[in-house]
Every structure is written in structure tokens, then in C-alpha cells.
Structure 1
């Protein structure tokens, strides 16, 4: 039976306020609260709330056959908690159906996978804990920021405890192969991969409301018939997209919600089902492995990482951020740790892109150079705060020694805890035996 795997990305960064050179050292609060609240409230009203209502109706009207996965960044969740708590409640209602899966990702929607293995692991841990605290589930499948993937990242993800990951079905990687199968990592065969079907995903995300498209208007029965016409041996159609497709990118008056509501009915007529990523990894068998020596993503025609690190501005900002990772890791100051997370969001680097002239409609800046200057002013102040606690006079060797000591102490504490647990269990068994006598 052919199946459809729906996954939606949800992310919002903490946008920075206009931060001048003269603010460095004097103002340690970096965020544009007004814009952050206005944007999350607007998107919640246009997209999150009506889209969640639509998804819930689809699950109920299909008799539980419709299923969908979400990847919600930690920074998006925090803003929902602050400015739109009703969105969190609606996601909890979806979670209660059992037909919704929450994926793991980097907490800050960051580029940590391109820079630092330990930071990458920390952000995954933070995100898993956040998802569990809100929805009572522990994510089993990983989805990296903007579907960024490489052979090296696949090894890191597997070692982080995941058996499955979703990513882009880039043509320069797949060649003649179809994305409509389950694959594995070339360097880590135990990590299974679901690959985005570009054509069908972008028919909805990019072309649905395009009057110039020769297939306009896109209807649910037409779309499902296209999927049904794919070769019968192709196992799964992965439809991966931004959740804002529903209501924001394509407004309600475009018919996008009606289109989605009709999908389960026409899918049932064609004997096409819906499946969650974790179910796909359990039920389907991989047909081949793929090798990705250089990081790819789902952005732009190149499907690479140049949208975030393609010019000197972005590379300079990213290098400066990476240089302080070890010192930040030693900090216990809550505000520093929080700012560190927020400053890592990939959006800050996207705004500096000269490919998109600062992110186009998505950027709060007039141009990428303004984005760079503002970010670097903020980062300069942040670095001063970090160095006030861990001065640059501490050499890297000494810093590494401190980190090694802390890590060894942590391992020793963990070992002692395990020994204590064994002792307690042994003592309990002894007491039970004595009681029986």
C-alpha cells in the first residue's frame, strides 16, 4: 500500500532589536519584543490555530487514518508560551489523538551541526527535554535545521540515539534514484533516512497559489491522482514543508484549508494511506544507501548551505560565534546560556545572505550589511559578558583541561549513581527475602 508521510517545520527566532555600536557594554538586552510578539500573534491567528483545527478535523473525519509529524524549534515553543499559549494547548490536543508525532531537532534551529559536535548534542538534548515536558513524549526521529545533512552529521545523529532521520531528496545526491523509498546513511547503515519529494512538496508549498502555473488550480483529487500514478513499487511519498503554508504563505481565501481537508477522502479512494516517520522506519525496508560528503539542505536550487554561510559576512559572524563555544559551555549564568541559544538561530545568518538580499520579506533589515552590523554589535557585547567570567587570558590548553576535568567529574558522578542504584536494589531484594523468612 502506498503511503504519504507529512512533516511540517515550525520555527520562529527571537529577532534582535536595533543595537548600536554605542550600546556595546551598556545594554545587555538584545531582543525586539514588540516585533516578536506581533509576528507570533499574527502567524498564530492566520496559521497555527486554524491549521491545528484543520488537522484535528482531518484526523477525526478520517477515522484516525490521517497522520502528521511536526518539528517545532525550542525558540518557537518559548515564544508560543509567552505570547500565544493557546497554540501550545492546541498542539497538546493534537498529541492526545496519537496520530501526531513530534520530531527532535536543534533547540535554537541552529547551525551547530556544521560547527561543534558537543553543542549539537546539547541542543538535541535540550529540545527532547522541552518536547517531553510539554507533550509527554520523547522524540524518536531526528530532523536537522533546514534538513541539513551530511555523512558526518548522520554519524553524530546515530550516536545521539536516533535510528531514523528525515532530510532532503536532493537531485545532485540521488541522481537517477527516487526519493520515494527508505534509504540508509552510507557511513552509518543503521541510520535510516526519509527523503523529501521535491516535486509534490513544492506543488503545495510553492505552486498552490501560483496563477501562472499550468496546473493551477491544484485540487485534492488531482494531487492524489498524481501520487497514485507513481510506480506501484515506490513505497512512500514524503511531503515536507513549512507549516506556514497553511494560512500564511497561502491565505485561507486561496482554499488551502479546504484542499487539505479533502486529502484523506481522495487518498482513501485511491487506497493511499498516511504514515508517521517512526512508523515508516519500523515498517519499511531500506532499498539502498546514500552518500553525502558535503552538507546539503532543502533551501535554494543548490540545496546546499550557502544561504547561511555563503558570503564573507556570514562566515565572519559564524566564526566569531564558534570561537566562544568552549567558554560559554563553562558558564552557568542563566542569561548568558539563554542569549547563547537565541544568538545561534540560523535566521540571523540568513538575513546576511546576499543571495536573497537579507532574506527578502522574511528579514527585519533593509539589507544584509545592516543585518551583519546589528548582529556583530550584539555579539560583541555578548562576548564581553562571557569573557568577564572566563577571560581570554585563560589559554585554550588550560580551558580544555578545565573542560576535561568537568567531564571526568560528571562521568564519575554518573558511575557512582549507578553503583548506588545497584546497592539499593540489592538491599531491597535482601529485605524482601528476609521478610519471606
Structure 2
């Protein structure tokens, strides 16, 4: 069995409310990712991004990873894992630091980023990401890479994402119980944006909405970087519950009805088309119109999109997302969802599929796999750079000492 290091493999795990997805990607010499392994397993130990049963969550991760390993013919050792949930908080912050040697160095950037992240957060929260939005050198704004620029004052504008310490520790515990090391815990909607958003949309302004089973994750981009994030506790499971209650049918069968026959707009369903609905317990099955199913589904999606529109107005970003809305996630695939979203948002809406990846078509053309694929893309971009020469580390250390001496005297 080929070892992971020899093939330069990345592994991403998306632990959702309804299912756990594991994806193995091979980093090719040309720089792109080829999906070589995929596995999934029903998830029963998660609820809206939080672990509610350690044993069931561990089992789901283990089964999904084993399936992906078998397909990729490899053995996973470390993984990138997504995190979401209503405990996620985000804010924008600014840091200021002096430029020590006349021109901006790596050390100055590190200092200003440390200053930007020095904020007061609740004791039960930890910082997950500090994402630079732009740098300002002596009042000159809109700088994305300040290294080497001359100036005396460096300012950084960043987006900070925090999450519950206990929620993160529970995810670590579940993954490590499977004999795996967590490379990085990554915000799920940040990962999804890597896989689905195009560079033009990031620059012009776009709102990405990842509709999963337990939560709907929102990420707003403008000027090439992330500006706002939010998590709403309304998603696909609420639709399933509505069907279960309205049709008086068990939840697993309601999920089947949603997946196989569900549409978000009544005009997508023929009035004469009937579906069989299983009863609860010993109750006999009934036949109901597919149009009735659509009339149950539509109000819940409308409610979700109205909540998201309110969030865009509340954060003052609605007028600035000229690039429109990108829907992704498993619950965005239903026929009519994109059209309904266009009606509610009054903005162009498209379905976001993973891009810039090759390999298994069931993965690269599936919005339900956007987060898992995005985890691989995040991992590719943030892989630690290993030095090619033994002396490089010493040289870099001497350079930092030299920078310190220049800044001090």
C-alpha cells in the first residue's frame, strides 16, 4: 500500500449533522488537486455543528475515512477538519505596528498581525482564524502584500473567527480516537468558499451560502477577501422535519421523500403526479400529490432566505454583493432552490460546484462535497514550506537577528 508521504496526499473531513464525508486528494506536480478517494457515512452524533455523542461521531469519521482510504489505496495519518455551528463568532479588527528597518519585513507583518488579534474574547472561545483583509502603509490603503514597501507605520485590517473551546476539543477527541492527527481545524464556510467561489466573484462582492443538514453558513467576500461570516440554525433537517409532521411519516422516510421527490417551487411539480407516503407504525401507506410536498417545502426555504437577507442588511453588505449569491451544500441541490433564492434576494444566484479539481466526478461535480474539497484546497495553500537546504533555517534565523538589530539601533 503506497504511503501518503510518497504520493503527497491531503485528506479532508467534513463532519456534518446528517453525514460525515472524507475526501483524499493527491497534489499533482502541476499544482492542481486530483480527487483519488471518497467516503461517507451517516452521522448521528452531531447536531448543528456540535458533537452530542462522542462514540457515534467517532464511528462515522472512522467509517468515512476507511472508505476513502480503500478507494485511494492509502493510509491517512493527518487530516484537515471542518468546524461550524451556532457557537461560531466573527468580527473585524485592526492592528498597528511600527516598521522597524525602513521597509516592511516578515517580522513587521508578524507584529502587526499579533496586534490585530489582541482582542478581548469570552473565556469559553478560542481564535480559529485571523484572516488578513488588507494592509495600510503610512496611510496608503488597499495593499495585499506589504513586504519590501518603505514606510514607518504598518496597519493591518483582519477578519477574526472564534469558536467554542469545548466544541473544538470534542472534534479533536473524535478525530484522534480514530488514530488520526488534526492538521488544522478550519471554518467550514471558509473551506467551501475555496472550492466554489471564482476570483471575479471574490473581487466584485459575493455571498456564499452553504446549506447543510443542521446549519446554513454564510460567508461574504469583497475585494478579494472575506469580510463577514455568520451561521444560521436553519437548514435541510428543518425541511425534513416539516415533511415528517405534515405527512405524518417517520423522519427517515421524510428524508427520502425530500431527496427523491422534493422541489422548492410548486411549478416544478406536476399536479397529477402522486407519491407513496409511508405511515407511522402500523398505519397504512397513503398516496399524496407531489404538488402538496412542494407546498410544504417552499415556506421553509423562503424563511431561510429571508433570514439570510436580513443578515445581509443587518451587516450592511446587501448593497455590496454585486456578484450575487452562490448556493452550495447538500440541501442546495433541490430543483427550484436557485430560482426561489433569486426571487427572495433580487440578486443573481447560481449553484456552487467545486472547481479547479480533477478526479472522481461524483465529488468534483457535487455541491454536497464542496466543504470537503475546500479543506483540501485550504491545505494545499497553507502547507508548511519545507526547506530545501539544511542551511536555510540558520540563514533565516540570522536574517531575523539582523532585522532586530537594525530595528533596535
TM-score range, shorter-chain basis? under 0.3
More strand per residue: 2
TM-score (norm 2): 0.24
TM-score (norm 1): 0.23
More helix per residue: 1
